[in-house]
Amino acid sequence: MNQQTMQAEPYEFTFDPKTTALLIIDMQRDFVEPGGFGEALGNDVTPLQAVIAPCKRMLDAARGMGMMVIHTREGHSSDLADCPPTKIARGRGEIRIGDAGPMGRLLVRGERGHDIVPELYPKPGEVVIDKPGKGAFCATDFDLILHNRGIKSLIVCGVTTEVCVTTTVREANDRGYECVVLSDCVGSYFPEFQRVALEMVKAQGALFGWVSDSSRALAALRT
Ligand code: C5J
């Protein structure tokens, strides 16, 4: 046991780097680049691009110290058999999940838009969880992999804060994992949602987890 302390809200986050993984959620072109699923839903994707650099700093630090790194991607099989029709119908966009866009079929595995941005691209040996839902635990091997690797704590980055990030944090919390969300490493299309989603995570004495940022996380990892 080698407990480290990260300054965080609502109080310090303690973790053992050996039983902690860096989790980077859905940093896919479909969410952060123009022409993807996020833009098809009517969003301006530029705010999400600001999280790439701090995520990269966390990724470099985790890789440098041999911390487990896990990436997730939201998306569906090419026949969309794993996509609820209700999900396709939502948004009423001109192009929807499975339709062709400038980066290939929206939110379909194997398409250019579905893949992770080059700056954060997984290295061989890093776990990539392909998930059909918003939460990383739904219909995936995520829990089994964390269990088999002895992971107890998650340092959480990615997009979008109020959707896939906090859905996954809530799922993880119910399964007994300790999560710290890094505020500058998670992004939303809506500043108000970003603020409120992070408030909810740390409310009532760390109801779902902790909130910190990349500077304080890197300081903790360096100790
Ligand atoms: C969304 C996600 N926003 N990765 N997905 O649909 O947050």
- Peptide bond before residue 10 is cis, with ω within 30 degrees of 0: yes
Q: Read off the pLDDT of each residue in 108-134 and give the average, rounded to a whole number.
A: 98
Q: Six-digit token pair at 9?
A: 């809200």
Q: Select from 164, 168, 170, 181 the residue to mutate for testing ligand 1; criterion: most ligand atoms less than 8 Å from CB.
A: 164
Report whether 122 contacts 130 (CB < 8 A): no
Q: Which is the closest atom of ligand 1 to the Cα of 26?
A: 4
Using most ligand atoms within 8 A of CB, pick from 26, 73, 170 the residue to mutate for ligand 1: 26
| Helix, strand, or coil (residue 129) | strand
Rg of the chain over all Cα atoms, to the nearest angstrom: 17
What residue owns the CA closest to ligand 1's atom 2?
164
**Ligand 1 within 6 A of CB of 33:** no
Distance 160 CA to ligand 1 centre (A): 5
For residue 223, the model assigns a pLDDT of 86
Backbone angles phi, psi at 165, to 5 degrees: -70, -55
Residue 2 pLDDT exceeds 80: yes
User: Quick check: CB of 163 below 6 Å from ligand 1?
Assistant: yes
Residue 78 — pLDDT band, cuts 50, 70, 90? very high
Helix (H, G, I), strand (E, B) or coil at 69: strand
Model pLDDT for residues 151-166, shown as the tens digit of each residue? 999 999 999 999 999 9
Q: What is the pLDDT of residues 202-221, one digit of tens each?
A: 999 999 999 999 999 999 99
Whole-number Å distance between alpha carbons of 157 and 52: 10
Q: Which residues are catalytic?
A: 26, 131, 164
Q: What's the CA-to-centroid distance between 159 and ligand 1, angstroms?
A: 6
pLDDT, position 61: 98
Which pLDDT score, from 0 to 100, does residue 7 have? 98
Is residue 88 over pLDDT 90? yes
Cα distance between residue 36 and residue 85, in whole Å: 19
Q: What is the pLDDT of residues 139-151, one digit of tens each?
A: 999 999 999 999 9
Cα 38 to ligand 1 centroid, rounded to whole Å = 8
Tokens at 59, concatenated = 């990724």
